[in-house]
Amino acid sequence: MVTIVKHILYCFVFTMLIIVFLFPMFWTATLSFKTYTDIVSSVPKFFFSPTFVNYRGLFTGETGTTSLPITAPNFPRYFLNGLIISGGATLLAMLLGVPAAYVLTRARFRKESTRENIAFTILSFWFGPELAITIPLYRIYQKLGLLDNYLGLILVYQLIGIPFVVWMSRNYFLDIPVSVEEACLVDGASRLQTFLKVVLPLAKGGLSATALLTFLFCWNNFVFALAVGGERTMPVTTGSLSFIRYEAVLWGQMAAAIVISAIPAILLALLLQKHIVRGLTFGSVKG
C-alpha cells in the first residue's frame, strides 16, 4: 500500500515538473498561431482558429493588423546575421582551438602543472563580465571601424568560442589512447599525418558535437551583439526585442520569431543529448 502511494506521489511530482518545463514553450507556440486580437483578449484563449499570419508577417514585413501603422522588424535579416556571425565564429574557434587542444593534451611540458595552468587560463577568458570588455572594446572598434561589423563580432565571440572548443575537444582527445598514435609514429608517419589521418577521424563524433554546441552558444549570445553590434549585424537574440515597439508589442510575431529561433536549439538538444552535459560543464562531467 505504502509503495503504491509513493509511486502515485512520485508520478504526480514528475508530471508537474514536466508541465512546468514544457508549458512556456507550448504556450509560446500557440501564441505564434493566434491573431493579434486573440492574443490581447483579456481571457487567454485555449481554443482558437490557427493562423499563419504571424509567420507570413515575419517574412513579408506585414504586421498582421491594420490598426498598427508600423513597419515590421526585419526577421530574415536577423536570422541570416545570426548564421553568418555564429557560423564564422564557430569556424574560427574550431580552427584555432582544436589543434591547440590536441597539443595541450600531448605535448611534454617541463613542469606538468604548466599544462593545467594554460588550460585554466584559456577557460578563464569565458568568465569575464561581458561589459567590462565591451565598453573599452566599443572605443577600440569605433576607431578601427569594426562597430556593427561581422568581423568585429566574430572576433569578440572568440571569448566564448575558443575556451569552449579547447575544453571540450581536449576531453575527446584524452579519450583516445596514446598507444594508437605511437603505433603510427613507429610506422614512420609524421605528427601531422597522425593527427590528420588517425586522431581526427577517431575524435570526429566529439568534435562535431563541439562545433554544434559552440554554434549554439554563439547563436544564443546577447550582450556582445547588443554592445558592439548594431542595426546591420543584429542577430535573432537582440532582434527579438525589436518586436517590442513604442506603439505596441507585436506579441504574435515575437512568438513566431522565438519559435523559429529556438528550432535549431531544440534539434541540437535532441541530437546531442549524450554530449550536452559534458559540454555544459566544459567537460568536467561525462554525461
Q: CB of residue 95 vs another protein: minimum separation in angstroms?
A: 9
Query: How far apart, in whole angstroms, are the C-alpha atoms of residue 156 and residue 171?
Result: 24
Q: CB of residue 155 vs another protein: minimum separation in angstroms?
A: 5
Q: Between 60 and 273, name the residue whose CB sits nearer to another protein.
A: 273
Query: How far apart, in whole angstroms, are the C-alpha atoms of residue 256 and residue 258?
Result: 5
Q: Which of 68, 139, 175, 180 is the binder for another protein (CB under 8 A)?
A: 139
Q: Which of 85, 199, 236, 250 is the binder for another protein (CB under 8 A)?
A: 236
Instruction: Rule CB under 8 A: say whether 145 interacts with another protein.
Output: no
List the grid coordinates of 201. Answer: 577521424
Residue 147 dihedral angles phi and psi, to the nearest 5°: -65, 140
Query: How far apart, in whole angstroms, are the C-alpha atoms of residue 1 and residue 26?
Result: 36
Q: Which of 53, 199, 207, 254 is the binder for another protein (CB under 8 A)?
A: 254
Q: CB of residue 206 vs another protein: minimum separation in angstroms?
A: 16
- 37-56: contacts with another protein (CB under 8 A): 39-44
Instruction: Rule CB under 8 A: say whether 58 interacts with another protein.
Output: no
Torsion angle of alpha carbons 190, 195, 199, 203, nearest 10°?
A: 180
The piece of 52-60, 71-79, 117-125, 175-183 that touches another protein (CB under 8 A) is 117-125
- 206-235: contacts with another protein (CB under 8 A): 216, 219-223, 226-227
Q: CB of residue 61 vs another protein: minimum separation in angstroms?
A: 21
The piece of 6-14, 55-63, 73-81, 201-209 that touches another protein (CB under 8 A) is 6-14
Q: Between 21 and 246, name the residue whose CB sits nearer to another protein.
A: 21
Query: How far apart, in whole angstroms, are the C-alpha atoms of residue 122 and residue 103?
Result: 14
Instruction: Rule CB under 8 A: say whether 70 interacts with another protein.
Output: no
Instruction: Rule CB under 8 A: say whether 245 interacts with another protein.
Output: no
- 173-202: contacts with another protein (CB under 8 A): 191
CB neighbour list of residue 242: distance below 8 Å, 6 or more residues apart = 73, 234
Q: Which of 88, 163, 206, 229 is the binder for another protein (CB under 8 A)?
A: 163
3-state secondary structure 19-82: HHHHHHHHHHHHHCCCCHHHHHCCCCCCCCCCCCHHHHHHHHCCCCCCCCCCCCCCHHHHHHHH
Q: Which of 58, 162, 211, 250 is the binder for another protein (CB under 8 A)?
A: 162
Q: CB of residue 18 vs another protein: minimum separation in angstroms?
A: 6
Q: Which of 56, 62, 84, 99 is the binder for another protein (CB under 8 A)?
A: 99
Q: CB of residue 69 vs another protein: minimum separation in angstroms?
A: 21
Instruction: Rule CB under 8 A: say whether 284 interacts with another protein.
Output: yes
Contact 242, 148 (CB under 8 A): no
How many chain residues interact with another protein (CB under 8 A)? 94
